[in-house]
Homo-oligomer: A and B are copies of this chain.
Amino acid sequence: METPVTEKPDAPALIALDWGTSSLRGYLMDAGGRVLDRRSSAHGIQSLPVPGIPGFEQAFADLCGAWLKTHGKLPAVAGGMVGSAQGWAEAPYVPCPADTGSLAGKAVAVESASGVRVLIAPGVIFDPPDAVPDVMRGEEIQISGALADHPHLAGRACVALPGTHSKWVQVTDGRIARFATYMTGELFAVLSRHSILGRLMLDDAAASPADRSAAEAAFAAGVRTARDGLAGDLSHQIFAVRTLGLTRRLPPEVLKDYLSGLLIGNELVSGLARMRDTLAGDTPLLLIGDAALCRRYVRALDLLGTVPAALLDNTAPRGLFQFAVEAGLVTSPVSSDRSDMP
């Protein structure tokens, strides 16, 4: 939520890095949490310019060197896969219930070759005694940002973060209470690229209104099949991508929409059931993620009779800022409720 700000931005006070598997995004921020400048590169932790620690050093210098030259040694924070065992330094998972304060309390610092201290956020583990553990890295920062911008949601909310590895998160009293991962995006990618289902698919190079309408109908058909399916049915449902293609009941350019509907639909059927107790009453459902992907989830949720309370795009900068505030790196923190700002 962007609040109109009339004051002049302060001087640069923080570098915030959202450092994932396939990309690195940097934000230059002032002491009020405003983004003054942003830069990004393809140097995710799996695609560094050179392997290992020198790769992290070089990617950091490439992205932030100009900022540091102009503004001096600013404090820096980083979240995401940069804190994994394959990252710049490992920041072990903190257990649920977790909030921005517990992330800051277990952060791990590295000092770059240029002498800048970079504070790396840990991920979060949900480890119930009677089930298998689940983990996240990066989403906890996005949730910190969402709750900082929308403090009225912190009491109780269900947050879904669609993506390669979607997360369904219960937030209670401002903390991540429990969560579950769904490999929806990765399943879509490996099935499209590496399974028999990809053979009949065509990309929709064209995008006429008629094509879009056919694609939306195929997506909706996939969601409805997921909604009406038996438990354990996914590996049967996806074979329909082949049979509908073979029998030409769906044109090849919308087969991937049908598969997308099946996979997102299955995630929603399970996620809504898993969070049923959380969502009872007035508890809002938030979506955080890429806007186009979130719109797909909204269409699928509609077919399941659910409407999310809000869609939030990139909340990582705000979350990294809150993490820096909790870690004491920013000297004049603003109120956590920006909507109350003058």
Q: Which residues of A contact B (CB under 8 A)?
A: 125, 127, 132-135, 165, 180-184, 186-187, 190-191, 193-196, 225-226, 229-236, 238-240, 242-244, 246-247, 249, 263, 265-271, 273-274
User: A125-B247, A133-B243, A226-B232 provided; 11 other pairs, C-beta below 8 A?
Assistant: A132-B244, A133-B249, A181-B236, A183-B235, A184-B235, A186-B195, A230-B231, A231-B273, A232-B234, A234-B266, A236-B270
Docked-complex contact B132 and A240, CB < 8 angstroms: yes
Docked-complex contact B267 and A235, CB < 8 angstroms: yes
In the bound assembly, the distance between CA atoms of A326 and B252 in angstroms comes to 37
In the bound assembly, the distance between CA atoms of A181 and B236 in angstroms comes to 5
- Among B135, B181, B239, B268, the residue within 8 A (CB) of A181 is B239
- Among B165, B238, B249, B266, the residue within 8 A (CB) of A232 is B266
Q: How many identical chains are in the complex?
A: 2
25 interchain pairs, CB-CB under 8 A: A133-B247, A134-B240, A135-B243, A182-B236, A182-B239, A190-B194, A190-B195, A194-B194, A229-B232, A230-B273, A230-B274, A231-B233, A231-B269, A231-B270, A231-B273, A232-B268, A232-B270, A232-B273, A234-B234, A234-B266, A235-B263, A235-B266, A235-B267, A235-B270, A236-B267
* Nearest CB of chain B from residue A338's CB, rounded to whole Å: 34
Docked-complex contact A236 and B180, CB < 8 angstroms: yes
- Chain B residue nearest to A84 (CB atoms) is B246
Most chain B beta-carbon neighbours within 10 Å: one of A182, A235, A244: A235
In the bound assembly, the distance between CA atoms of A183 and B194 in angstroms comes to 13
In the bound assembly, the distance between CA atoms of A133 and B236 in angstroms comes to 11
Which residues of the partner chain B approach A229 to less than 8 Å between Cβ atoms?
231-232
- Among B125, B239, B266, B268, the residue within 8 A (CB) of A183 is B239
In the bound assembly, the distance between CA atoms of A110 and B230 in angstroms comes to 42
In the bound assembly, the distance between CA atoms of A26 and B234 in angstroms comes to 35
* Nearest CB of chain B from residue A161's CB, rounded to whole Å: 14
- Chain B residue nearest to A269 (CB atoms) is B232
